[in-house]
Structure 1
């Protein structure tokens, strides 16, 4: 986290935030494209770390995939300007623009770069990649989406996001597949309304930030580290609460936006999609519970010298955030009153 506070990293961090605002507030396709390019060129210095070869490799892979998506997007908007009247061509171009945006945010079936890049990044950079970097492509997608194509993509995301995480041992890859699964919910909420999408994005960002913060604080990257570490039981309970919230179990805050989305989908008679989303969330919960169960149940040899010293202010922050997760549904029912 400390590496963020040198002046050059802060500069690129602010440019990254402004580039998103440029894309969102632009009134032309070209403006959106310029914002995306600035975003790409400001995020790469943040993730490339000269000491870590994995991070350097990840930044190169990220640059290549994002460049391909940008070229596709630019090609599509230029074609659109030239062939404005042709309806069949418009249908094809909408799929092209949608595909380039889906590739930019790491949605299935263009997701293959995403887990590989996530594996090379620090927890803070992962948090940015899984939350902030999805905002611009999502909003550009909402301007011009092809409904049938997006419905198919939602199904793909739900299935691949849940099945892909089953055989993973790396916590970063598990969070990456969880992010792909959550993209299906984000896209569903986008089809319903932008306010609901914003609400889902904020709650999802809140949950991901707690998870990344806990893992960053304990310096954990693989599942077996959760077994080896002689962790404080309160940390384990916090981990359990936040994993359940991320999976979308009812008493936690993560269920609330999913509940609203399910409600809207059923009202619009999208039963198959609702069924797929719920079933795949169950698989997601299965591997979350498997991690938590192992962390709780493994009998470690408790060595007296092995202790984790955590600064009290950090620990209390996690407790407060987990408390919000736990009281999520109670707090959310007050909105309806």
Structure 2
């Protein structure tokens, strides 16, 4: 082999980036489908690991689900070419295209593969799956979406993402259901404008990157590890700040894009939809607090010997990113006034 494992991973990472650019810059549905297939074939080598059975199982499940979605997408665009002038069949085709793209991004009610696959991945691959892998399907969805169908999908994502995380103890599954919930917000921002979607996606990616970096540094996979490990109190507070920002609590920067979406929904008389969004955000906030409550309140004297040491640079970096999350209300005040 001319490349070692790290070089191979970087090679497939570059292909993953370029496949997204191929899809979003294509001027035909067939070109978009080719970009999606290249994206699929470049992501599987990144997540597969011969030394980890869970990662191998996740890569196989991901291949099967994405292949089914790709077949549906290809079939629907072929039908679109054949029955271009038939309105009733075009309505069915729009449902087919939307459903296949929603399945590719792991949106409810096509979300059943998403938490199971994310359970077997490393935190870096979890971050890629929760952020970058959603860019192509969402941009393609913005070209050809059915508004009424998308509103139903938004409500399902918000509700399932909030309720599904209540009985989870795995941090990766919690973040998966959090991603499903935030996907509902992203779809609503996509329905409003692409600029708002880009802003929301950037903010979500920023917050989720801090959390995934934190869990990767301490190799945390389950909730009980947060209080078994005797972490520095400042690190726990930093993690609490980022979780509260992700849930959309007002003093933090994660509240700003959600505020814009709720304002638009209220101004356009979507009162019931905005009510569901706000109530489900409170449920999300509840299980984010549940993650941190035990680590902040419990104190196990038997495990005092088990001390985690991290470098000063990493400690400063996490706290600096958390300070950006705190500055959200100041930034949003400047934007509005």
Q: Which TM-score band (shorter chain)?
A: over 0.9
Mapping 1:255-266, distance limit 5 Å: 255-266=255-266
Q: Spell out structure 1 runs of 4+ moving beyond 6 A.
A: none
1:161 — aligned with what? 161
5 Å-filtered alignment, 1:1-337, equals: 6-301=6-301, 303=303, 305-337=305-337
Q: Which deviations, in whole Å up to 9, do the C-alpha atoms of 1:303-336 show, x marking residues without a partner?
A: 5532111112111111111000011121232233
Q: For 1:90-129, what per-residue CA distance to the aligned partner results, in whole angstroms no more than 9, with x for missing partners? A: 0110000000000000000000000000000000000000
Q: 2:303 and 2:12 mapped to 1: Cα distance?
A: 44
Aligned equivalents of 2:121, 2:278: Cα separation in 1: 30
Matched residues, number = 334
Query: Normalising to structure 1: TM-score of the pair?
Result: 0.97
Q: Distance in 1 between matches of 2:171 and 2:325?
A: 20
TM-fit CA distance, 1:81: 0.2
State whether residues 256 and 332 of structure 1, in contact with CA within 8 Å, keep that contact through their aligned partners in structure 2: yes
CA deviation string 1:257-295 (max 9, x = no partner): 000000000111111111111111111101111111111
Normalising by structure 2, what TM-score? 0.97
Q: Tell me, which stretches of 5 or more residues in structure 2 are unaligned? A: none
Cα distance, 1:36 vs structure 2: 0.3
State the alpha-carbon separation in 1 of the partners of residues 212 and 5 from structure 2. Answer: 18
- The whole-number CA distance in structure 2 between the counterparts of 1:322 and 1:227 is 20
State the alpha-carbon separation in 1 of the partners of residues 304 and 203 from structure 2.
Answer: 39
C-alpha distance in 2 between matches for 1:279 and 1:200 = 19
RMSD: 1.1
